């Protein structure tokens, strides 16, 4: 992949991380850990891969993105604002009454949000319904769903996984943000969903595993979808929770973060340094 494109995407992802910290500053708290593990994936989708038009968010032929793990929504808000779906000043309303950026995304409040999520375990079913609808309409659009590894504990996911394979929904692509943690501990301790890839393979999906914080790997793997014609595609994305903030990376207590001012300042200076390092 062209190194200039990689660098520009890394710069964009770093700016999106900075947007997340800006929302936490405005709202004083938020689901930081999971937002920062998946933000590289959402950046590559919106800035490099998906067929979308920020000035026409309801374009019928657009690709769809559904954030099944709705609590990671600061990542989506950060990327949508950076991509021009809405004015960046709206990010400063995070955490305030009547904000258009609630703690879980609301499609009636913000352009670019395709579904209301937050109750875990529904995004894959919604995405499959959209994928089948697009096929009926003879559109070539793809549906991208992102969920958490802890979210896989929800049984509804497996019903959707089975139905997607049965209906040969090869316009459906699932990312599982495998950061190894959920709200209260390691996913392997609380509800083991490993080996994620083998389980989906057994359900009839085509599976690839990548480093989900590596921008070129994310971009490269997307070029190959559908991995197998006639099968839905799964990308097992191995990520780090709170990626980018050294003292928080991989720490379970940063799932929902209400930082002290000094802690937030330290995080901001770390991300600002990354922005300078990767500036194209």
Ligand X SMILES: Cc1ncc(C[n+]2csc(CCOP(=O)(O)OP(=O)(O)O)c2C)c(N)n1
Q: Interface residues with Mg ion (CB under 5 A)?
A: 148-150, 179, 181-182
**Shortest distance, CB of residue 120 to ligand X, whole angstroms?**
4
CA 231/CA 212 separation, integer angstroms:
22
The first and second tokens of residue 260, run together, are 């002290």
Task: Measure the CA–CA gap between 166 and 237, rounded to whole angstroms.
Answer: 24
Strand extents, DSSP E, the chain: 64-67, 143-148, 172-178, 181-182, 185-186, 206-211, 233-238
Nearer residue to Mg ion within complex by CB, 71 or 142: 71
Residue 188 CB, shortest distance to ligand X, in Å, is 11
Q: How far is CA 265 from the centre of its chain?
A: 25
Q: Considering only residues 118, 123, 127, 212, which one is a binding residue for ligand X as defined by CB under 6 A?
A: 118
106 belongs to the binding site for ligand X (CB under 6 A): no
Q: Does 69 bind ligand X (CB under 6 A)?
A: yes
Residue-wise burial string across 31-60, b where 16 or more C-beta atoms lie within 10 A, e elsewhere? bbbbbbbbbbbbbbbbbbbbebeeeebeee
Q: Mask 174-203, x = binds ligand X (CB under 6 A)?
A: -----x-xxx---x----------------
Which listed range, 90-98, 126-134, 143-151, 164-172, lies at the site for ligand X (CB under 6 A)? 143-151
Partner whose footprint covers residue 151, from ligand X, Mg ion, none (CB < 5 to 8 Å by kind): ligand X
Of residues 227 through 266, those in contact with ligand X by CB under 6 A are 241, 255
Binding site for ligand X (CB under 6 A): 34, 69, 71-72, 118-121, 148-151, 179, 181-183, 187, 241, 255
């Amino acid at each position: 992949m062209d190194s200039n494109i990689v660098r520009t995407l890394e710069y964009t992802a770093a700016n999106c991380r900075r947007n997340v910290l800006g929302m936490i500053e405005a709202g004083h708290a938020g689901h930081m850990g999971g937002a920062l593990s998946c933000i590289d994936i959402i950046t590559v989708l919106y800035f490099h891969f998906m067929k979308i038009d920020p000035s026409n968010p309801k374009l019928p032929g657009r690709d769809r993105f559904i954030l099944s793990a709705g609590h990671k929504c600061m990542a989506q808000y950060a990327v949508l604002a950076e991509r021009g779906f809405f004015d960046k000043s709206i990010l400063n309303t995070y955490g305030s009454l009547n904000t258009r950026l609630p703690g879980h995304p609301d499609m009636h409040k913000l352009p670019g949000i395709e579904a209301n999520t937050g109750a875990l375990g529904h995004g894959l079913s919604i995405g499959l319904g959209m994928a089948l609808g697009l096929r009926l309409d003879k559109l070539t659009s793809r549906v991208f769903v992102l969920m958490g590894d802890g979210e896989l504990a929800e049984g509804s996911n497996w019903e959707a996984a089975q139905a997607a394979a049965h209906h040969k929904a090869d316009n459906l692509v699932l990312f599982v943000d495998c950061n190894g943690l959920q709200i209260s501990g390691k996913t392997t301790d609380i509800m083991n969903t490993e080996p994620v890839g083998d389980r989906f393979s057994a359900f009839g999906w085509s599976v690839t595993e990548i480093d989900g914080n590596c921008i070129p790997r994310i971009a490269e793997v997307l070029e190959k979808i559908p991995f197998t014609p006639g099968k839905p595609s799964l990308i097992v994305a191995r990520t780090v929770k709170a990626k980018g903030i050294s003292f928080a990376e991989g720490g379970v207590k940063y799932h929902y973060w209400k930082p002290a001012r000094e802690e937030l300042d330290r995080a901001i200076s770390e991300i600002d340094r990354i922005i300078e390092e990767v500036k194209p």
